[in-house]
Every structure is written in C-alpha cells, then in structure tokens.
Amino acid sequence: MLNHKMDRFLKRKSNEVNGKERKSRKVVMRKYDSDYIKYGFIKAGNDFEPKAQCVECAKILSNASLKPSKLKRHLDTHHPKSATKPKDYFERKRDDLQSQQRVLTSFTTQSQSALKASFLVAGRVARCKKAFTIAEELILPSAIDMCREVIGGNAASKLELVPLSNNTITRRIIEMSNDIECQLLERIKSSPYYSIQLDESTDLTNIALLLVFVRYCADGNVHDDILFCKELPTRTTADEVIRCLDTHFANKAIDWKNCVGVCTDGAASMTGIHRGVVKQIQQRAGQAK
Ligand SMILES: [Zn+2]
C-alpha cells in the first residue's frame, strides 16, 4: 500500500518536473546587447533573465522587450526629445544613473548598520539599568568624540545616523523584551513538562508583586527563567494570585496540563488548606505535586 502511494507520488513529481522543463524550453530568453545604449537602455536584471533599464526614467522593461523595435518605441513615445540624441548622450545619462544607484545601495547598508548599532546600544542601556536618555545625552556624543579623535571626521559623521533618542531606546527595549518573551514561551510550550515557583514580594513603593519562575527542558537540559512579574492588589489573597496566573496563562496560551510541579514561599495565602493557591493549581494541573 505504502509503496503504491510512493510510486504515484514519484510519478506525479516527475510529471511536474517534465512539464516545467517543456514550458521553460518554450520561453526564449533574450539577451542584452551593449548596442542598446543607443536607444537609451542599459542592462538590468541578472544573467538568467536580462532586462533593460531606461536611462531617462529608470523604468525596467521585461526580458520580452529586449529587442530594438520595443526599446525604440519606448524612447519615441516616452522621451521624444531624446530620440535623436547621439550615443554618448545616453552614455553620460547611464553614468549618472549608475552613480545614483551606488549612492542608494551604500545608503541602505549604512542605515542598516545604524539600525543594528541602535539595538546594540539599547541592549547595553537595559542591561546596565540606566535611564534611557543616557544614549542621547552621553553615549552618542562620547562615541562621536572618540571616533573623530581616533579614526577621523568621516567615521564620526556616520555615527550621527545612529538613532538613539529617548523614545527610540524605549521602543527598541520593548521590542527586544517581547522577542525574548516569545522565545521563552516557545521553549516552554515545546518542553514536555514544566514546573513553576511562586514568590510574593513588595517593591520600594510597597506595591505587592507576584513573581513567577519557570523550570523547563530544552536542548536536553533543564533551564530556569523568570516567567513574569505582575502587580497584585494590596491585600493578597489566594484568589487574586490564581486570577493573575490564569489571566497570564490564558493570554500566553500556556497549558496547565503540562505543569508537573509548583512550589511557593510558604505564605499562608499560598499554601492554606482551603482555597490555597497550590490546591487550586493542582485542580488545574492534575500532575502537579
Ligand atoms: Zn523611459
């Protein structure tokens, strides 16, 4: 039965491939001729499928249009004033267009590396727990000073492109932390089991916090991570803790079924026999000890 299915599959595949070959044999790829510059066209596309680009309007024509009659028609209809210009006029235009394209390419690479630099600095600011304004007020000006003195003015002026404003740093840090959370959730979900540890704490302003740590398997090892930290109403009750956990687990689509362990700091609201958090978790996760 299986062999039969496999045969049919292979037959279908080979038909598809042959069909494609037949099709591609029909299509004739036209080649770019360096003489086409006299119609105002330079080579674009790649070697497999050459195309023509107009030096006047930068429009790219398809491979099928790579023949003198079509190129000339574009020139006559769209740029009638240039129709009678000599070949060297188009060659000058070609050089202009190509240098513009070079500037554009180098600008894209530069802005990409500026973006990456911006993320790297934001990561450092977050790790050092500094105010987000430090990037704009201290890091960037210092980096520019150092570059100007050590490497040169050119390098220093490139650094001015790195976006490091207060708002940018905020955005980058949020983006990175969301990404880290996504990665953690993916790992927890692909782990066969996980266990959690709950801890209550208060911060400087006396706000009650629920800290949840998670232990899970990934890459053949056991890992510990902080799952989340959320504010609780001042009078912490077991119901509040459970509500907080339930909301978070539902939002992040974490399955209680795979939870095999729960441990707490031993506070009354956590372990109390009636309606205690642990008991309620055990109702949700049958395997939890
Ligand atoms: Zn054109």
User: Each residue of 46-62: pLDDT tens digit?
Assistant: 888 899 999 999 899 99
Q: Quote the pLDDT of residue 107.
A: 78
Distance 105 CA to ligand 1 centre (A): 22
Q: Residue 208 CA to chain centroid, in angstroms? A: 35
Q: Quote the pLDDT of residue 124.
A: 95
Rg of the Cα trace of the chain? 32
| CA triple 221-227-233, angle to 5 deg | 155
Q: Quote the pLDDT of residue 266.
A: 65
CA atoms within 13 A on the CB side of 239: 2
Residue with tokens 């009678």: 84
Report phi then psi at 287, rounded to 5: -85, -10
Distance 88 CA to ligand 1 centre (A): 17
pTM over 0.85, yes/no: no
Q: Which of 141, 143, 122, 142 is nearest to 132 (CA)?
A: 122
Q: Quote the pLDDT of residue 200.
A: 82
Distance 61 CA to ligand 1 centre (A): 9
Distance 54 CA to ligand 1 centre (A): 5
What is the C-alpha to C-alpha distance for residues 55 and 96, in angstroms, rounded to an integer?
Answer: 9
Which residue pairs, CB below 8 angstroms and at least 24 apart, start in 76-83? 78/54, 79/40, 79/54, 82/40, 82/56
Distance 121 CA to ligand 1 centre (A): 44
Tokens of 44: 């674009």
Q: Quote the pLDDT of residue 215.
A: 95
pLDDT in tens, the chain (289 residues): 445 555 554 455 555 544 444 444 566 789 999 899 999 999 998 888 899 999 999 899 999 999 999 999 999 999 999 888 999 999 999 999 888 888 888 777 878 889 999 999 999 999 999 999 999 999 999 999 999 999 998 889 989 889 999 999 999 999 999 999 999 999 999 999 999 998 888 877 888 888 999 999 998 899 999 999 998 876 677 888 888 899 999 999 999 989 998 888 766 656 565 567 888 888 888 777 6
Q: Is 42 within 8 Å of 52 (Cβ atoms)?
A: yes
Edge-first strand listing for the sheet containing 259-263: 221-231, 208-218, 194-202, 259-263
Distance 49 CA to ligand 1 centre (A): 20
Distance 198 CA to ligand 1 centre (A): 68
Distance 53 CA to ligand 1 centre (A): 8
Distance 90 CA to ligand 1 centre (A): 12
DSSP 163-186: ---HHHHHHHHHHHHHHHHHHHHH
Distance 32 CA to ligand 1 centre (A): 17
Distance 62 CA to ligand 1 centre (A): 13
What is the C-alpha to C-alpha distance for residues 206 and 221, in angstroms, rounded to an integer?
Answer: 37
Distance 77 CA to ligand 1 centre (A): 9
Distance 79 CA to ligand 1 centre (A): 6
What is the C-alpha to C-alpha distance for residues 11 and 8, in angstroms, rounded to an integer?
Answer: 5
Which residue pairs, CB below 8 angstroms and at least 24 apart, start in 98-102? 98/42
User: How far is residue 113 from each of residues 30, 206, 246, measured CA to CA in Å?
Assistant: 38, 43, 42
Distance 50 CA to ligand 1 centre (A): 17
Residues in contact with 196: Cβ distance below 8 Å, sequence separation at least 6, in sequence order: 212, 213, 214, 215, 227, 259, 261, 262, 263, 281
Tokens of 67: 């023949």
